[in-house]
Chain A
Amino acid sequence: MGRVKIARKSTFIDMTAMSDVTVLLLTFFMLTSTFLQKEPATVITPASVSTEKVQETNVLQVLVSPQGKVWLTMNNDTSEQWSNANMRIALLDNVTSLYNEQHKNKPISFNQQQKQAFSKLGAFGVPLAQMGEFLSLADEPEGLTKMDNWLAGEDPNPNHKTGIPISAENNDVTLNEFQMWVKAARMAGNENLTQAMKDGIGVAIKADQNTSFEIVHMVMDNLQTIKQNKFTLLTALKAGGE
């Protein structure tokens, strides 16, 4: 009786094809991805039936935390002339002059390095009196982490305040710092942003769904006072639609 011989087969699996596929997928994800921007506060926007898409360029985003803290993000044009780096510096210059007009006895100024550091920021928002100290952190070792912590309100120094100062009592003669920033953005020189802000699509309020109306109303009221009457609210798409 002859035994049936089972041929010993190699268990080596050729992974080349698999590797090809994964590299393709990787390329796809690398090219399509837009990274989530680091934000000082995590907010979940409310759902809405609106299908209008948010603008990615030429928009000033107002991030409102449920505690009533406010930060800004300025996204500029894709063109070189009105790029983020250029416009951010113009924004800082404008806001400095607006601030110094009202605080003649305590003027602020920024050096070139601080301006450069500001142009690279994502979301920003510390009181202007502390802005210089904040921007100087960028040149320190671990400075970026320190800046993120400061913005998130986790700085060990209790004097380091986060959020742009804003108040419910406001008028268009003595502006608060939030109003200065918005005004400064409007006249930063990026014509596309100025136009978008005029049309309302250039200012987007991003607030958490459980933020009380009191806080949202305060932000809206501040915008209204400086004649920024039109703006958009960021929402998520409502599942199921109508």
Chain B
Amino acid sequence: MAEVQQSGGDSGKKGAQKKMQIRVDFTPMVDMNMLLITFFMLCTTMIKSQTLTIALPTNEKVQNEENMSQASADDAVTIILDAKKVTDPKTGNLVVDSVNGNVVNEVYYYFGKPGGDAGMLGAGGVVLSENNNLQKSEFLTDEVNSVGEHSARGIRKIIQERNKDVLKEIKAIKKQLEEGKFGPLETKDQREEAMAKYNEAASKIRKNEDLKKPVIIIKCTPQASYRGLVDVLDEMQINSISKYQIDNMTDVDVVMLDDYRKHHN
């Protein structure tokens, strides 16, 4: 292929040109191309980042107290995120624990009001440890048994338990989707169409006021890492939670956390 045949003029005659074969060696060309390919392969980003959309309330002070929507104590679940702290053997100070350079997060939760109906603080600001309803949990992935059934663990199990009405309905329409009730699933377009219908139905269920749904309040201590926050927001999405908000830690929350640590460490 890389040869050029040159048929010399009249052969046999005196001073005839020899048949010349010109070969072009492409090896350096291939070398150079490979280098360029390597360069482009290393410099490109094939994977686009994903995004997580969140909406927060304004910072403006609400003028009218009546306009504030208060979560009823029944539905409220407060999740508190904190970084795990360990004592530094050199200095003796508490430092944020990390594994492979990643901050280790701890997750706590309580239902309803802090300290239950009796409250966390007694007369004169006395901490009532016996009322502390804070509990500790973990971020865990689903456990999959031999049949392939998923069972939630850790904080996800707690959220699912509180949101079981919604999840039951979602599970039902998911089954309908698989059975083809939202339209055939053969081609890509059909699948997309069915998914759009399914998502619409799912969002209707999530917003259904008749179903009992928890209101989740996410609070983070200043040391908690951003990854932990995204993990909690992920749990909201996995468990179809429609009402959740990110809030600031209150003094009572700090007291509860300290009190819990005092009794469990």
Q: Distance (Å) between the CB of B191 and the closest chain A CB?
A: 15
Contacts of A52 in B (CB 8 A): 50-53
Residues of A contacting B37 with CB < 8 Å?
22, 25-26, 29
Within 8 A of A (CB), among B42-77: 43-59
For the complex, is A112 an interface residue (Cβ under 8 Å from B)? Answer: no
* Range of interface residues on A (Cβ < 8 Å): 35 or more
Q: At the interface, is chain B mostly helix, strand, loop or mixed?
A: mixed
Residue among A14, A55, A220, A240 with most chain B CB within 10 A: A14
Contacts of A217 in B (CB 8 A): 220, 222
| Chain A residues touching B, majority SS | mixed
Known A-B contacts A209-B225, A209-B226; A14 and B50 likewise in contact (beta carbons under 8 Å): no
Q: With A14-B1, A208-B226, A230-B55 in contact, is A48–B233 under 8 Å at CB?
A: yes
CB distance A16 to B225 under 8 Å?
no
Asked if B95 is at the interface (CB within 8 A of a chain A CB), the reply is no
**B247 CB to nearest chain A CB (Å):** 11
Interface residues of B in 81-136 (CB under 8 A from A): 81, 83, 98, 101-103
Flag the segment in A69-77, A78-86, A149-157, A231-239 that touches B: A231-239
Interface size class of B (residues with CB under 8 A): 35 or more
Q: Are A48 and B234 in contact (CB under 8 A)?
A: yes
In the complex, how many angstroms separate the beta carbon of A62 from the nearest chain B beta carbon?
A: 13
Complex alpha-carbon distance, A90 and B123, angstroms: 59
B48 pairs with A46, CB closer than 8 A: no
- CA separation between A215 and B222, bound complex, in Å? 8
Report yes or no: A29 in contact with B226, Cβ–Cβ below 8 A. Answer: no
| CB <8 Å contact, B59 and A242 | no
- Chain B residues contacting A216 (CB-CB under 8 Å) are 226, 229
